[in-house]
Chains A and B, each alone.
Chain A
Amino acid sequence: MATSQPPLRFTSHHNLVYRLVLSTLTGRTVHISQIRSSSPTNPGLAPHEISFLRLLDAITNGSQMEISYTGTVLVYKPGLVTGSTAGTGASGGMITYELPSNCNRGLSYFLIPLCLLAPFAKAPMKVLFTGPGVITSSTPTGDMSVDSVRTAILPLYKQFGIFNNIELRILRRSNTGPTGRGGGGEVQLVFGHQVRLPKTLHLMNAGRIKRIRGVVYSVGVSGSNNARMIETARGILNPLSPDTYIFSDVASAPLVPAPDKTNPQAKKKIGLGFGLSLVAESSTGCLFSADVASPPSGGQAPEEIGKQCAFQLLETVAKGGCVAPAAVTTMFILMTMGSEDVGRLQVGRDVIADPNVVQLARDLSKFGAPGWGIRDAPDNGDGDVIVSVVGRGIGNVGRKVA
């Protein structure tokens, strides 16, 4: 597939995950160098990046990765995305993937790229995330909660004609561990809709916000925190949108094994805390989300969390466009992977001015995708822009062979 082409060369650890995703989707080998090479204490790939590489290895067939001795250089030669077929590490049609305890990123760090790969898999993608590193809440490292992935990211796939048999079950909740790393959650992703090409998207009407939904969660702490967060958040949001409901979930703290000399069977509670995830849905189906969780060090009142989250939601909505900043990467990659047709998407000026989005655009053009056309949205005082993205028309390689 990619044998004839020379590897694409990238530097630094920025956008590493999406580079790997694009590499897998396009079948181009990538060579990423200077990964944290300037850091004297922690050079090379971080634990969560290694975890992501292992996840890629688990869901693909025939991918090769070479990491240099210091971890500062990575060569990744992608294979086919097989999904969870029998005989490739899947037991009972389900790949069990364990995250190590030193992971400090939320699970959405893995889930969102995995969901990008899943529609192009050969078989349905069923992955069970377990282990002492699964954090379902939002994290201080900027990852959204798994609830938000379910309520604000996955519904977007419907606009690309991918909607059947998609489920994201949170079997056990966990906030961030005491030092900002580790958790004990358990999440199951079922992505059963594989397509050859995602549909071309034309989304240029953001509509008006018609409802707000949310989930508050308390893990191992009193459920009254939930009520306090709901009270504050609704106090802010209800006057703006009467159709506001926030669902409450109280869970006990997960136990992870913590063997010591005297008791090898010892377990400890981890991932205590609370948090709030809010999603605003517009009349045209655009979704905006906000996520705040209590910091691992504690010391924040639930009222404060609720207030922060409500304001964050308002800010996200105020940025305008049809896509929230958290979902814009997903949208653009899916549009690029679509059929050879021009898709259009209206985004807020602040959303597209984000450095990550600019980096993504550069990476996409390096992977051979045509550039984006950007023009001002007509009769719109918000300063939104319309981005035209041409699909590559390659789509699902695994599907083509099968």
Chain B
Amino acid sequence: MVVKRKRETTVVSKPQAKEDSPPPVDNAQDVFRRLFEAQFEPLDLPGPTAKSTNSDEEENEDDDDSDLSGSEGDWDGMSDISDESNQVEVVEHTGTYAAPTDRMDKKTWKAFMSGKLLSDLDKPSTEPEPTSKKEEEEDAHESANLKHDLALQRLLKESHLLDSADDLAPTGKNRLKALDLRMQSLGAKTSLYAQTKMPTAHRRGIKAKAESKEDRRRQEAKENGIILEKPSKVQKSSNNGRRDRGLVGSSVGKFSGGTLNLNKDDIARVQASGRRMGGRGKGKTRGGRGGRGGSKR
């Protein structure tokens, strides 16, 4: 046993030493050998420098074996087996498992660690690329469709302008009219070409004509038993009746040069009306007197 242990130690330690620092050892040995050879005859030892480490090991083992074979023959087989098993173990150990090279990317991590269920995650992980391609195509398709839609809508809206024209893209007068329509559809309050100023008689005529048209339409509908929408309330302008003239329009006195001038008559009238008012107020409580006051005046 003692012998075996010794062998093992030699076997293990040798390659280590070689692996750790082979060149200096070899150099030193070479130097010594050259010195030796210079003094004596050349050596025919196998040069360790020329050979690979593996063959070297084997040779060493062989050497050891031959040494041992002199003392005990039985140990050879055993030790051979043990050597082999040792070697195999070493090989297995060095074949390390290199795992952490393939870490998941952050996106997958987030997808997995979110609250969603595992089954939900499978679908998006396989789909996204094809969908993105599809989406791009669809987007292009969609925009083309939208363009066509717009053209169609315009055509429908402005078709009445094109009755005479045979061209889809209107020109001249029609173009201006179409532009105007588009402006209105975009929110313009009145047509660009609505006339703002015209003689009153002219405007009245237009108004009257429109009214008569509407009346006729309603009349016809009534005769034919068609129910129409209720007539929109005619919006009366606020300044239709009396105009507010401010101080200038005061009913008493005369306004001139920024002052209201009252003559005696005016003052008397105002005072009288005030008394009358007061009388009326009292009249409600007392009765009859206000009327008398009024008659007095």
Residues of A that sit less than 8 Å from B by CB: 150-151, 154-155, 158, 163, 166-170, 188, 190, 213, 215, 227, 230-231, 234-235, 238, 245, 247, 249, 279, 281, 285, 287
Over the window 72-106 of chain B, the binary record of Cβ atoms lying under 8 Å from chain A Cβ atoms (1 yes, 0 no) is 00000000000000000000000001011000100
In this assembly, does B28 line the interface, its C-beta being within 8 Å of a C-beta of chain A? no
In this assembly, does B241 line the interface, its C-beta being within 8 Å of a C-beta of chain A? no
- Interface 9-residue window, one of B115-123, B225-233, B283-291: B115-123
Minimum Cβ distance to chain A for residue B95 (Å): 12
A158 x B119 contact (CB < 8 A): yes
Minimum Cβ distance to chain B for residue A206 (Å): 17
Contacts of B114 in A (CB 8 A): 169
Rounded to whole angstroms, the CA-CA distance of A336 and B108 in the bound complex is 37
B118 x A155 contact (CB < 8 A): yes
Minimum Cβ distance to chain B for residue A275 (Å): 15
Minimum Cβ distance to chain A for residue B152 (Å): 39
A235 x B99 contact (CB < 8 A): yes
A167 x B100 contact (CB < 8 A): no
Instruction: List 26 contacting pairs A-B, 8 Å CB cutoff, sorted by A.
Output: A150-B115, A150-B117, A151-B117, A151-B118, A155-B119, A158-B117, A158-B119, A163-B117, A163-B119, A167-B115, A167-B116, A167-B117, A169-B115, A170-B115, A190-B115, A213-B112, A231-B97, A235-B97, A235-B99, A238-B99, A245-B104, A245-B108, A247-B112, A247-B113, A249-B113, A279-B118
In this assembly, does B193 line the interface, its C-beta being within 8 Å of a C-beta of chain A? no
Rounded to whole angstroms, the CA-CA distance of A168 and B114 in the bound complex is 8
Most A C-beta atoms less than 10 A away, residue of B100, B113, B114, B117:
B117
Partner of B118, one of A150, A170, A227, A231: A150
In this assembly, does B109 line the interface, its C-beta being within 8 Å of a C-beta of chain A? yes
Rounded to whole angstroms, the CA-CA distance of A231 and B103 in the bound complex is 12
Rounded to whole angstroms, the CA-CA distance of A230 and B100 in the bound complex is 9
With both beta carbons as reference points, the residue of chain B lying nearest to A245 in the complex is identified as B104
Contacts of B109 in A (CB 8 A): 247
A213 x B118 contact (CB < 8 A): yes
Contacts of A279 in B (CB 8 A): 118
With both beta carbons as reference points, the residue of chain A lying nearest to B114 in the complex is identified as A169
Contacts of A231 in B (CB 8 A): 97, 99-100
Minimum Cβ distance to chain B for residue A109 (Å): 19
Given A215-B112, A234-B97, A287-B118, 7 new contacts (CB under 8 A)? A150-B115, A158-B119, A163-B117, A163-B119, A168-B117, A190-B115, A213-B118
Rounded to whole angstroms, the CA-CA distance of A42 and B212 in the bound complex is 99
Contacts of B112 in A (CB 8 A): 213, 215, 247
B117 x A215 contact (CB < 8 A): no
